[in-house]
Amino acid sequence: MLAILHSPPPELDRKIGVVVVVGGAQYRVGSHRMFVSLARNLAAAGCSVLRFDRRGTGDSWGEDPGFEDCNEDIQTAVRGLKDAVPGLQEIHLMGLCDGATAAAICYFPDDEIAGYVMINPWIRSPQTQARVLLDHYYKSRFMDREFWRELFAGKVHLLQSIKEYINFWRNSRSHGFVMPTLQSEIFYRLKRVNKPVLFALSENDITGQEFLVGARVVSWKDWLQNDPRVTLVQFENADHTFSIPASLDKLASVCRDWLINSIKS
């Protein structure tokens, strides 16, 4: 596996390590160099950051195991960071989308992970997707003047739109508020390891908003609101990959402050 290490200035070295876990079709650079920007920002603040391509992605060889089965890849990356930077006091996992999910469900027998940065974690299920589309897409669309202009101009297939709306409405209510399987796995794994967690959620992102839909489950909601180790930050006007520079700068600032404050006394 190919990896890039960002080292802090010696005078600012805080002995904090961060491994960036990449998900989906991305590789270690990220959309619009998102991971590069975050890594450089964190390194300038005193963290050692490792970005890597898991097997079969980016510039790494082998067969891609997928985000649900890349436990060995993440463990190897953590060992690589520890070997490259002896003396680290803490190592955190940071991921976006299913990279965040992969980090959360990764098993470490020696309890060597100090915390998790979960950026728009992936918990996709038909139920959460349907609720988000109803709450955020269809409501805003039906109130949009452009939609009605296109409708009366014959550019919108009204019957098809109504059928889609009804199908999403049915899916959103088909099982009640049960916790989706993937979300359940994240929830119980993070509660069991009992480490600090930062959830960073984008306002203009279906994946981030799906997480909030899932958070309506009583046990999950209680954990998010009452566990002092859990921090949830919502980013106004941010999209899935924080493509707006101001949004990415704010994300970097939040992550930097959270990591620095997490260092053991």
In whole angstroms, what is the distance from residue 14 CA to residue 46 CA? 5
Each residue of 138-147: pLDDT tens digit?
Answer: 555 555 566 5
Q: Which residue has the tokens 């002995």?
A: 15
Q: Enter the pTM of the model.
A: 0.82
| pLDDT given for residue 178 in this prediction | 47
Q: Are 22 and 99 in contact (CB under 8 A)?
A: yes
| pLDDT given for residue 127 in this prediction | 64
Concatenating the DSSP letter of every residue in 181-224 gives: HHHHHHHHHHHHHT--EEEEEETT-HHHHHHHHHTTSHHHHHHH
Digitized pLDDT (tens) for each residue of the chain, 265 residues in all: 999 999 999 999 999 999 999 987 789 999 999 999 999 999 999 999 999 999 999 999 999 999 889 999 999 999 999 999 999 999 999 999 999 999 999 988 878 999 999 999 998 766 665 666 556 555 555 555 665 565 556 555 545 655 554 554 455 555 554 445 778 888 889 988 999 999 999 999 988 888 888 777 767 888 998 999 999 999 999 999 999 999 999 999 999 999 998 765 4
CATH numbers and ranges of domains, the chain: 3-123+180-262 (3.40.50.1820), 127-172 (no CATH)
Count other C-beta atoms under 10 Å from residue 46's C-beta. Answer: 19
| pLDDT given for residue 162 in this prediction | 52
Strand-strand pairing, 90-96 and 47-52: unpaired
| pLDDT given for residue 171 in this prediction | 55
Each residue of 178-214: pLDDT tens digit?
Answer: 445 778 888 889 988 999 999 999 999 988 888 888 7
